[in-house]
């Protein structure tokens, strides 16, 4: 065994929560080491949110130019230069990665590039290119993230993951996307806009399984209007290669058939990066899927070891990994924070955007508490008209007893930005009337909140209304 190196704090995994914690602890003067097996930055910057949203933006520009005539502009039919799209993405990623590295250096932390594996209580080895080091720390934080889950049936076809699809230097003629969750949707629309023929396959009866049916149905219609072929209730039975094409044998409600495409993206969920860690050696329990079990303060079953981000089985978002950092850091400094009852907003970056926070209509019904439902189509909102973005709607659940907003689903242009306004009001426990009567600049999309919460757009919940919106 290599010489034992002692640290006050060790962080394994340089994702959002892990790296932020390492910088904060080191900056505060603690002897801290961050261990990362891959490049600096974590998934968000390198292979997930940032590169995908950078490419989504290119696809949006493509769609806007394609639609230019609607705005009175005669633009030459646009051409996608995939190498330039990739170069722009690389620049954004590299700029953010360099900024991270500068922060790491300024903080005074030790950074080790290598894969961590526990060998005993609070002790792990780091295997790196040149050597193996052994680290013991008073307190350890695991933030090793997650990776795509690829079912075995794809073993012979080398399907693309989201990461691989963001590195192909061309637009495939056709793309099969398996999985109607947010990653599948974002890539389906992106590549359809770049010029691929896209088929989206979802085994469930709706896209975005957790959303209200009317919301998911609106999403389906919007992407179908874009030209994406959406197959619901469809199971992939077999995957094979036929020359350069991938063939999928699928089971639909109308029977079996085979579809083919130049590439296939499998976006059917993510699994935790925990096997390599040898967690048992440190007494850290995992659940049946391999996620590290934590309590609401993110403490694992082993004393003085915490887990942050995707790996602890919480909602898989960068802002949640960051909030996990806030919880741990506050508690190390004498606080008493927990993840219980925190807001979990999220956005699906398609056009129109879908932004969600709080409970939805399904959950409101299950709660059996009386509620009211606010709904306004974007077509009546002045800024939506001026922008030519009248697709979609805003929907909100209101607590009938105290008039607070319990949840929203905004499916419209700039949905995520408008959501932030409502989220703050929700967290401040303001009644919906605050938003209804607030002065927002005209004409903005946020001004639509005045209309969403106007009395004529608020309905008492009734099973008939629910049936209507689910029709």
Which is nearer to ligand FAD, 37 or 139 (by Cβ)?
37
Of 9, 10, 11, 16, the one binding ligand FAD by CB under 6 A:
16
**Which is nearer to ligand FAD, 182 or 453 (by Cβ)?**
182
For ligand FAD, which residue of 32, 43, 100, 457 counts as binding (CB under 6 A)? 43
What is the Cα–Cα distance from 103 to 34, expressed in whole angstroms?
13
For 269, other C-beta atoms within 10 Å of its C-beta total 15
From the list 18, 181, 352, 358, which residue makes contact with ligand FAD (rule: CB under 6 A)?
18
Residue 244 has, within 13 A of its CA and on its CB side, a CA count of: 5
Secondary structure of 415-460 in the HEC alphabet?
HHHHHHHHHHHHHCCCEHHHHHHCCCCCCCCCCHHHHHCCHHHEEE
Least separation in angstroms between CB 378 and ligand FAD:
22
Name the one range near ligand FAD by CB under 6 A: 8-16, 84-92, 208-216, 391-399. 8-16
Please tell me whether residue 162 binds ligand FAD under the rule CB under 6 A: yes
State the SS3 of 278-315. Answer: CHHHHCCCECCCCCECCCCCCECCCCCEEECHHHHCCC
CA angle 159, 165, 169 (to 5 degrees): 120
The interface region with ligand FAD, picked from 31-39, 84-92, 149-157, 204-212 by CB under 6 A, is: 31-39
- Cβ 21 to ligand FAD shortest distance, Å: 10
**With binding defined as CB under 6 A, does residue 180 bind ligand FAD?**
no
Is residue 442 part of the annotated active site? The answer reads: yes
- Using CB under 6 A, pick the residue from 86, 109, 140, 145 that binds ligand FAD: 145
Which tokens belong to 374? 């606010």
Please state whether beta strands 132-142 and 4-12 pair in parallel, antiparallel, or not at all (unpaired).
Answer: parallel
Give the Cβ contact number of residue 106 at 10 Å.
11
- The residue count for binding ligand FAD (CB under 6 A) is 37
With a CB cutoff of 8 Å and minimum separation 6, the contacts of 458 are 372, 373, 374, 398, 432
Q: Which is nearer to ligand FAD, 46 or 220 (CB)?
A: 46
Q: Which stretch binds ligand FAD (CB under 6 A): 12-20, 197-205, 335-343, 458-466?
A: 12-20
Window contacting ligand FAD (CB under 6 A); options: 32-40, 130-138, 193-201, 424-432: 32-40
Going edge to edge, which strands form the sheet with 346-348? 346-348, 353-358, 405-412, 393-399, 371-377, 458-460
142 binds ligand FAD (CB under 6 A): no
* Cβ neighbours of 209 (radius 10 Å): 12
CB of 252 to ligand FAD, least distance (A): 27
Residues 240-279 that bind ligand FAD (CB under 6 A): 273, 276-277
Residues 6+ apart with CB under 8 A from 110: 7, 32, 33, 34
Residues designated catalytic: 442
Residue numbers of the site for ligand FAD (CB under 6 A)?
Answer: 12-18, 35-38, 42-44, 48-49, 52-53, 115-116, 143-145, 162, 183, 273, 276-277, 309-311, 316-319, 321, 349
């Amino acid at each position: 065994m290599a010489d034992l190196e002692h640290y006050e704090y060790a962080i394994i995994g340089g994702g959002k929560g892990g790296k932020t914690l390492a910088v904060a602890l080191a900056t505060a003067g603690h002897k801290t080491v961050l261990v990362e097996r891959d490049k600096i930055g974590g998934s968000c910057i390198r292979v997930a949110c940032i590169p995908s949203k950078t490419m989504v933006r290119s696809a949006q520009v493509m769609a806007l130019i394609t639609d230019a005539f609607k705005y009175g502009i005669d633009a030459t039919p646009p051409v996608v230069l995939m190498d330039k799209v990739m170069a722009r993405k690389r620049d954004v990623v590299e700029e953010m990665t360099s900024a991270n590295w500068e922060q790491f250096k300024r903080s005074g932390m030790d950074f080790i590039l290598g894969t961590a594996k526990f060998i005993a209580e609070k002790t792990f080895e780091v295997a790196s290119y040149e050597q193996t080091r052994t680290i013991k720390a008073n307190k350890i934080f695991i933030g090793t993230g997650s990776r795509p889950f690829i079912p075995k049936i794809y073993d012979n076809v080398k399907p693309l993951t989201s990461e691989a699809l963001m590195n192909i230097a061309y637009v495939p003629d056709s793309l099969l996307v398996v999985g109607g969750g947010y990653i599948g949707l974002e890539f389906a629309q992106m590549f359809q806009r770049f010029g691929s023929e896209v088929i989206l396959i979802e085994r469930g009866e709706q896209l975005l399984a957790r959303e209200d049916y009317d919301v998911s149905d609106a999403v389906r219609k919007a992407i179908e209007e874009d030209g994406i072929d959406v197959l619901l209730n469809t199971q992939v039975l077999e995957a094979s290669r036929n020359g350069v094409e991938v063939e999928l044998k699928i089971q639909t409600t109308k029977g079996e058939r085979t579809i083919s495409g130049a590439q296939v993206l499998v976006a059917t969920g993510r699994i935790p990066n925990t096997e390599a860690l040898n967690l048992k050696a440190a007494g850290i329990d995992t659940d049946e899927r391999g996620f590290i079990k934590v309590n609401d303060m993110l403490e694992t079953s082993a004393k003085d070891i915490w887990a942050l981000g995707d790996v602890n089985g919480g909602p898989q978002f960068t802002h949640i990994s960051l909030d996990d950092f806030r919880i741990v850091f506050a508690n190390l400094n004498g606080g008493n924070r927990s993840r219980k009852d925190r807001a979990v907003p999220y956005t699906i970056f398609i056009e129109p955007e879908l932004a969600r926070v709080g409970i939805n209509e399904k959950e409101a019904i299950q709660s059996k508490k009386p509620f009211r439902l606010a709904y306004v189509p974007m077509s009546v909102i002045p800024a939506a008209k001026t922008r030519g973005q009248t697709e979609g709607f805003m929907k909100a659940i209101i607590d009938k007893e105290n008039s607070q907003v319990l949840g929203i689903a905004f499916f419209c242009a700039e949905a995520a930005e408008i959501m932030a306004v409502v989220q703050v009001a929700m967290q401040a426990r303001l009644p919906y009337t605050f938003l209804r009567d607030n002065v927002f600049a005209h004409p903005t999309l946020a001004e639509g909140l005045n209309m969403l919460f106007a009395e004529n757009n608020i309905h008492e919940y009734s099973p008939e209304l629910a049936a209507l919106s689910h029709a």
